[in-house]
Amino acid sequence: MATLGVNIDHIANVRQARKTVEPDPVQFAFLAELGGADSITVHLREDRRHIQDRDVFLLKETIKTKLNLEMAATEEMLEIAKKILPDYVTLVPEKRKEVTTEGGLDLKSNVQYLKKAVGNLKDSNIEVSAFIDPLGEQINYSKEIGFDFIELHTGKYAELSGSEQHKELQRIIESTHLANDLGLVVNAGHGLNYNNVKKIASINNMNELNIGHSIVARALAIGLEKSVREMKSLITSN
């Protein structure tokens, strides 16, 4: 049975929109754990658009589950990861102008550099995952480079419907089986929501699903009425 990693980047997005102290993603990580999250995922971007260094260090010290640090394979991020020592690092592609991560890493074009980066992290006893598209070639390169995990990009699956979505699901299933045969642990994520998650979760030997936006959006929907009532009560209680 797959476990759930909750990505709290979007909590930090709300905070950074006003450059203030709330909502604090560290506090929301506690709530996610209370709800049953098996791990907490954050993406420390080079431009620090949402998650900040302070957040990651505090999360490492305070959460009770596991910390998954998503990051680009840059020298700066490698040094930060070795200071924080998250439970595992997921290497992702990163473009400064993208709204969210657009597709998986191109491992084929960066084999030697990534071998060095992965080895660097493993020297600090950090397990390493590659965020990749569900393609056999990318999975084979993941094994060659030395990754412990892969995270299959489910964005295309989430965008499709009907028979086309079914084809993409089969590709994800086949990719999971190939990776397992090679000894890689398989996670998945991107675009998963309350309507499309069950078929991915039911894949044999799927380890963990990383989900953020849909959970935060749902939290706003089911929690906004209560928060408005509390504020209204404070205003009218005088």
* Two structure tokens written together for 118: 């992965």
**CA dihedral (127, 133, 137, 138) positive or negative:** negative
> Per the omega criterion (within 30 degrees of 0), is the bond before 23 cis?
yes
Instruction: State the distance between the two ends of the chain, measured CA to CA, in whole angstroms.
Output: 52
Catalytically active residues, by annotation: 43, 70, 190
Cα–Cα separations (whole angstroms), residue 177 to 31, 109, 145, 164: 34, 24, 19, 20
Identify residue 48 by its one-letter amino acid code. Answer: R
Neighbour count for residue 74 (Cβ, 10 Å): 13
Q: Report the SS3 class of residue 211.
A: strand
CA distance 29 to 31: 5
Neighbour count for residue 19 (Cβ, 10 Å): 6
Cα–Cα separations (whole angstroms), residue 143 to 115, 122, 166, 206, 237: 10, 14, 27, 17, 62
CA distance 104 to 132: 4
Cα–Cα separations (whole angstroms), residue 225 to 215, 218, 234: 17, 12, 14
